[in-house]
Each structure stands twice: as structure tokens, then as C-alpha cells.
Amino acid sequence: MLVWGRSLADLARAAVESARANVPRSALCVSGVAIGIAAVIASLAMSAGARQRALREFGALGLDNVYLRGPLQEHDLLALRGLPDATEIAGVKTARADLAAGDRHAEGPCAGVDGAWRTIVGAHVSRGRWFDKADYRDRRRVAVLGSELAARLGGPADGTLVRIGRDWFTVIGVLSASGSGALPSAAQRFVPDDTAFVPMPAFAIRRGPTGAGALDEIVMRAPRGASASVAAAAARVMARTARAGAAGSIDVVLPRDLVEARVRAQRALDLLLLGSGLLALIVSAVGIANVMLGSVMERVPEIGLRRALGATRRDILLYFMSESVLLCAAGSVAGIAVGLTAALGAAAIAGWPAAVPRGGTAAALALGALTGIASAAYPARRAANLDPAEALRA
């Protein structure tokens, strides 16, 4: 394939030969571009990883769910069930308790939940079953354990008796790992993986008559296609009207807002890294431009000879542009490798994920190529505009 009288293979060969003619100079150019691209790749990887972590953690709560926290009562639950902007609603009661299974002991939260809780939060049972209508109706003392809690208790089999506080419950299932980890207290009151779940009526019996109607949390899911913020706004109105004069206040938590807040907090660091990378690329472009200008001045006789042998201005332009693009391409490849390694290393140390978004590598390569083209534009044009006769006499 010919490009203005010169094949791409010839251009690449000439660019390689020119770069090898002055290895230290070429290495400095490649290093500058590599540093800039590495910073860009690292910022993209850390930003994507932070978003994935936020989605995984807070997504375990259900991005379209609304959580109400505070001194709640069962009449609040009944009032919310009358709202048109919620399809499913469940109440939750929580307490810390000592747990024991055989000779294994553990301490953790116990949660009494309504039947709709598992569906709303998307929890799955990896072994056994979840509570059925008979468990709620008959106030059976049965329990479903979180995956981590079950492991700490020695993995009790279904049918095993587990002591929760002073009462005994029969294990009927174990939840799958949620992957939410230890979320901040603002996100949820308990980590499902480390919690023992019991039917709400059985939990009320365990607590006794004092505060039997009190709830610690109400979770509601917005209908499909509707905004969770609409349901949250309706819940806030209910809280202000139905609880006028009541002691305490109700907090309304939206996991989607928590994800967006986490992403916004990460954005400042991302912009800092991205700005540092772009600044390094600009400095590299200036350095490559100076190198190319010096190369043009050194090769004035060579340029005159090439023109005398039939090379056109476009050929000369491409000749110098190809060298600059080659250096930047090499720097881009090295920068991508360094950036990914740095991002993965930092993620492993800090405990967060790192992932380059789709098109991130291609964007970095394109940015490196643009750097090469921009830095060689003026030197290459100056070389192409040299007068052949004056160049031969130089």
C-alpha cells in the first residue's frame, strides 16, 4: 500500500532507524509519554473500580429501594403500605445477641423481618429455605443465618438448634453471600452476611412485651419504571404528617444517592490524576517537538537529497510525522502497562477494585497518537517547506 509515493513499511522502517540513531533522546521521549499515559490509565482504572465497588456494596441494598430509619411503629408501616409509589414494604427489628450452636459461640445482630424483606433486598438462600406463611402465622422459632455467621458457628446443618440470646431457634437455611461487605452505618443497620434472621412475630416474642410494636427500619421498593426519589419524597411527607408531635425523627436513605455521593467524592481524585497525566503529555509533546526541530536541523542536507531524488513535500511531512507517532505509540504501550500495574497494585494494597472501562485502552492509544501528531506538526511542516536547493547547499 502506497501513501503519497511511499509505502507504510518504508515509513515505519525509516522511523525506527531514526529513533535508533539517537537512543537516549528517543528513550526520554518515550518515557515522557509513558508517564502521562500511565497517569491517565491509572485514573480511569481507579475511577471505574470505585464505581464498581460502590455499585456492588450499595447495590446489595437495592438501588431502587428506600430505607426509613428511626423510632418507628407498626402504624407507620401500615401508613406506608397505603402509598401508591411503593409496591412492596417490609418492617425490620434488630438487636445484638449472643449466639451459640453446639460448642461454637458468636456475637452478632439478629433481625426480625417481614415476609417481603428477602424479595425487596434481593437476598438468596444458598441452602435450605426462607420463611413461609406458616412460619409467620404460627410464630415458629426458626432462623436463617447469614453466610459469614453460619461459618463462624461451624456451619450448622438444617434442623440444628441455635441459641439466639436466651431462646432457641431451629436453623432452616443459610443466605448466599451478599458481597456488600461492612457497609457504613449510614447505609444499613446490619450486614446480612453476619446476621441471624427470624420471623417478625418470633422476634417480637423474644423481645417481650416492652416495645413489641417498635420497628428499627422500614424498607420499601419503588414500582418498576418509577423513581425511588418519588417514593422517598412520599415517605418523607408521611413522616412529617403521620408523626406530627412524635418523639424522634425519621431518616430516609436512598442507596442510589449513596452511590452517586461515593462517585462524586472519587471524582476529585480522578480529575487530579487525569490532570497530572494530561500535563505530563503536554510537557512530553513540547519535548518531542524540540527533539523533532533539532532532528530537522541535523537532516537538512538529507532532506535536500530526498527532494532532489523525487520526494514530495508530503513525503517529507510523513517521514517526520511517522517518527514522532512511533515514539508516542511506544510510550503509550509502555504507559498502559505501567498504569494498569500501578492501579492494580494500589487496589490490592487499599482493598478496592480496579478496572479499565471499555474503550479506555483504545482512548489512551488514540491520545498518544494525537500527542505524536501534534508535537510533530510544526517540525514536519518546516522540514517539508525547506527549499531543495538551499537544503543541498547546507
Residue-level pLDDT at 213: 64
What span, in angstroms and rounded, lies between the C-alpha atoms of 344 and 349? 9
Q: Within this chain, do residues 214 and 97 fall inside the same structural domain, yes or no?
A: yes
Looking at every residue in the chain, the average pLDDT score rounds to 78
Q: Within this chain, do residues 203 and 309 fall inside the same structural domain, yes or no?
A: no
**79-135 pLDDT per residue, tens:** 777 766 566 888 899 888 999 998 999 998 999 998 889 988 888 899 999 999 999
Residue 55's contacts (CB-CB under 8 Å, 6 or more residues apart) are 63, 259
Q: Within this chain, do residues 242 and 267 fall inside the same structural domain, yes or no?
A: no
DSSP label at residue 189: S
β-bridge mates for residue 98, sequence order: 107
Q: Pairing mode, if any, of strands 6-7 and 2-3?
A: antiparallel
More confident residue, 371 or 164: 164
Banded model confidence at residue 182, pLDDT cuts 50, 70, 90: very low
More confident residue, 151 or 41: 151
Count CB neighbours of 118 within 10 A: 19
Range of the domain at 75: 62-254
Contact present, 47 and 267 (Cβ < 8 Å):
yes
Q: Within this chain, do residues 7 and 93 fall inside the same structural domain, yes or no?
A: no
Region 326-336: what's the mean pLDDT?
Answer: 86
Domain boundary (254, 288, 319) is at: 254
Region 193-206: what's the mean pLDDT?
Answer: 84
Considering 26-35, 42-51, 89-98, 279-288, the range whose residues carry the highest mean pLDDT is: 89-98
Closest among 188, 375, 245, 391 to 309, alpha carbons compared: 391
Instruction: Give how far Cα 131 sits from Cα of 8, 128, 195, 317, 379, Å.
Output: 70, 10, 15, 76, 76
- Structural domain total, the chain: 2
Banded model confidence at residue 162, pLDDT cuts 50, 70, 90: very high
Q: Within this chain, do residues 316 and 183 fall inside the same structural domain, yes or no?
A: no
Q: Within this chain, do residues 20 and 68 fall inside the same structural domain, yes or no?
A: no
Q: Within this chain, do residues 360 and 319 fall inside the same structural domain, yes or no?
A: yes
**314-329 pLDDT per residue, tens:** 877 787 788 788 888 8
Q: Within this chain, do residues 287 and 385 fall inside the same structural domain, yes or no?
A: yes
| AA identity, residue 45 | A
More confident residue, 193 or 313: 193
What span, in angstroms and rounded, lies between the C-alpha atoms of 154 and 90? 30
Instruction: Give how far Cα 351 sits from Cα of 46, 49, 193, Å.
Output: 12, 11, 19
Residue-level pLDDT at 2: 38
Residue-level pLDDT at 125: 93
Kindly report the three-state secondary structure assignment for every residue of 190-219.
CCHHHCEEEEHHHHHHHHCCCCCCEEEEEE
Does the structure show a pLDDT above 80 at 68? yes
**230-289 pLDDT per residue, tens:** 777 777 776 666 555 555 577 888 777 777 777 777 777 777 777 777 787 788 778 778
Q: Within this chain, do residues 174 and 43 fall inside the same structural domain, yes or no?
A: no
Q: Across the chain, where does the E strand assignment appear?
A: 2-3, 6-7, 65-73, 88-101, 104-113, 125-128, 142-145, 161-164, 167-175, 196-199, 214-221, 251-253
Closest among 140, 135, 138, 143 to 159, alpha carbons compared: 143
Residue-level pLDDT at 185: 43
**Positive or negative CA dihedral for 76, 77, 78, 83?**
positive
| AA identity, residue 388 | P
Does the structure show a pLDDT above 70 at 209? no
Does the structure show a pLDDT above 60 at 186? no
Q: Rounded to two decimals, what is the model's pTM?
A: 0.64
Question: 173: helix, coil or strand?
Answer: strand
Does the structure show a pLDDT above 50 at 7? yes
Residue 102's contacts (CB-CB under 8 Å, 6 or more residues apart) are 154, 156, 160
Residue-level pLDDT at 225: 57
Instruction: For 216-265, give the DSSP string.
Output: EEEEEEPPTTS-HHHHHHHHHHHHHHHTTT-SS--EEE-HHHHHHHHHHH
Give the phi and the psi of residue 270 in degrees, each rounded to 5: -60, -45
Q: Within this chain, do residues 36 and 142 fall inside the same structural domain, yes or no?
A: no
Residue 242's contacts (CB-CB under 8 Å, 6 or more residues apart) are 75, 76, 79
Map grid coordinates 531524488 to a residue: 309
How much of the chain exceeds pLDDT 70, in percent? 80
In our burial notation (b when 16+ CB lie closer than 10 A, e otherwise), range 214-223 reads ebbbbbbbbe
Domain boundary (254, 287, 313) is at: 254
Residue 375's contacts (CB-CB under 8 Å, 6 or more residues apart) are 284, 285, 286, 287, 288, 289, 292, 324, 328
Domain boundary (219, 239, 254) is at: 254
Q: Within this chain, do residues 171 and 274 fall inside the same structural domain, yes or no?
A: no
β-bridge mates for residue 89, sequence order: 220
Q: Within this chain, do residues 109 and 230 fall inside the same structural domain, yes or no?
A: yes
Instruction: Name the helix (H) or strand (E) containing 298.
Output: helix 255-298
Banded model confidence at residue 17, pLDDT cuts 50, 70, 90: confident
Does the structure show a pLDDT above 50 at 3? no
